[in-house]
């Protein structure tokens, strides 16, 4: 990685093409750029993707951050492989809009904006120290698309964990669903800015026992009748519980699988159609572990339900406190929190290693990764060839920076 001070920009220059080399590098680096008031130049953006450079959701997310932080942005258009971003003062407006005009992922736009929005309270006018007003972001695009977590994952898995563990608050309201290729979904994100305090440290080290498995099937279509849609949803849910029942996992032995625990949500959309299922297991210690799948229009409802159940089973088997999606999304919040955060996970994903590498490059946060039941401590994020990353359980520790925004 290239990382040095640029005389002209007085910011960091980072090679965004290393490790996972995808859009997550943009989201974490731009978020931290705003939070820490650090200009940053990213080279080789999304270099490891089939079509390198910014996609609509990345471009829309960048321009959203440019608006919120009144930033200087160069290279923010679709296709750009080099970005320069210099934040300034927080925009005093309360409402912002980001529209991909495609099926670009809304969840990825939430990922880039949420951490910075939490610390986006503008200075009070005339020394009136009133509580900061909520920030509202209207996001348009795809609510469930391939290669990104679905919007229901953010609401049912991500949100409860980060609110409880870090002590923050936000709401995600789904106005309408949007699927590939049409998009046209809409979500409203409401964030309560934090002032005069820090985020609490994370402590997820004991999974406990699984006490419940829940789920949501969403079927959205323009022309199909509600009765037909409900039958499709029931087929998907029944197939999912059949796989979980037959898995014979010790962790699931005491669970009574009931189809009533899967909500079947029917929606009419203006164009196209889509279907999806999210399953999540809740534990006695408050952990939430999930598995999901989205229909590609070629699979049967039974195949979609089966795929989601198998992903949940895989995430349960490794023994960690989080699933593969939540694992890397907690990294930036651990860095911002005060004190030492601790997280026990299954195999360390490439997304997580990439997140840690770039968060350390952008901030003073320090991470330590230890393989449990092993004397070997793995801390080299750049060691791509280490096979141990794909097995076992790990403890991720982070000494956070304790970010605090003062209104003085």
Q: Evaluate whether 310 touches 302 at the Cβ level (below 8 Å).
A: no
345: which strand partners? 394
3-state SS assignment for residue 342? strand
3-state SS assignment for residue 146? coil
109-147 burial: b if 16+ Cβ within 10 Å, else e = bbbbbbbbbbbbbbeeeeeeeeebebbbbebbbbbbbee
Could you tell me where the beta strands, DSSP code E, fall in 63-209?
72-74, 82-86, 95-99, 135-141, 170-176, 185-191, 203-204
Q: How many other CB atoms are found less than 10 A from the CB of residue 13?
A: 17
How far is 346 from 333, CA to CA, in rounded Å?
19
Q: Which helix (H) or strand (E) holds 287?
A: none
Residue 169: active-site member: no
Q: How many other CB atoms are found less than 10 A from the CB of residue 155?
A: 17
Out of 58, 169, 318, 351, the active site residue is 351
Binding residues: 111, 325-329
Binding residues for ATP: 111, 325-329
CA-nearest of 382, 348, 357, 396 to 25 is: 357
Question: Tokens in use for 4?
Answer: 């040095």
Looking only at Cα atoms, what is the longest distance across the chain?
65
Half-sphere exposure (Cβ direction) of 28: Cα atoms closer than 13 Å: 31
- Residues tagged active-site: 351
């Amino acid at each position: 990685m290239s990382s040095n001070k640029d005389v002209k920009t007085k910011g960091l220059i980072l090679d965004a093409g290393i490790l996972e080399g995808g859009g997550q590098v943009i989201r974490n680096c731009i978020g931290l750029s705003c939070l820490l008031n650090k200009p940053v130049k990213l080279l080789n953006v999304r270099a490891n993707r089939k079509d390198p450079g910014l996609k609509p959701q990345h471009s829309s997310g960048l321009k959203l951050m440019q608006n919120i932080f009144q930033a200087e942005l160069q290279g923010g258009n679709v296709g750009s492989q080099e970005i320069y971003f210099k934040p300034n003062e927080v925009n005093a407006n309360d409402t912002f809009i980001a529209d991909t005009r495609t099926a670009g992922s809304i969840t990825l736009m939430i990922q880039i904006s949420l951490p910075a929005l939490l610390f986006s309270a503008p200075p009070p006018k005339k020394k009136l120290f009133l509580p900061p007003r909520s920030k509202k972001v209207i996001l348009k695009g795809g609510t469930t698309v391939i290669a990104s977590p679905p919007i229901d994952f953010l609401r049912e898995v991500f949100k409860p964990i980060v609110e409880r563990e870090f002590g923050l608050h936000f709401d995600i309201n789904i106005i309408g669903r949007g699927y590939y290729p049409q998009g046209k979904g809409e979500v409203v994100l409401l964030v309560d800015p934090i002032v005069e305090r820090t985020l609490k440290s994370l402590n997820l080290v004991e999974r406990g026992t699984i006490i419940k498995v829940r789920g949501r099937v969403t079927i959205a279509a323009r022309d199909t009748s509600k009765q037909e849609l409900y039958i499709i949803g029931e087929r998907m849910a029944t197939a999912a519980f059949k796989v979980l029942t037959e898995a014979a996992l010790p962790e699931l032995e005491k669970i009574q699988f009931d189809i009533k625990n899967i909500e079947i949500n029917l929606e009419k959309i203006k164009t196209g159609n889509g279907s999806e299922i999210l399953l999540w297991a809740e534990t006695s210690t408050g952990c939430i572990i999930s598995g999901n799948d989205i229909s590609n229009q070629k699979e049967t409802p039974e195949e979609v339900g089966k795929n989601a159940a198998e992903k949940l089973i895989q995430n349960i088997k490794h023994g960690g406190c989080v699933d593969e999606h939540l694992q890397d999304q907690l990294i930036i919040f651990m860095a911002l929190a005060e004190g030492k955060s601790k997280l026990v996970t299954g195999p360390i994903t490439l997304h997580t290693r990439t997140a840690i590498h770039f968060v350390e490059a952008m901030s003073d946060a320090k991470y330590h990764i230890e393989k449990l039941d092993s004397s070997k401590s793995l801390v080299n994020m750049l060691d791509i060839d280490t096979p141990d990353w794909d097995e076992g359980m790990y403890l991720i520790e982070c000494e956070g920076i304790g970010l605090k925004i003062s209104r003085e």
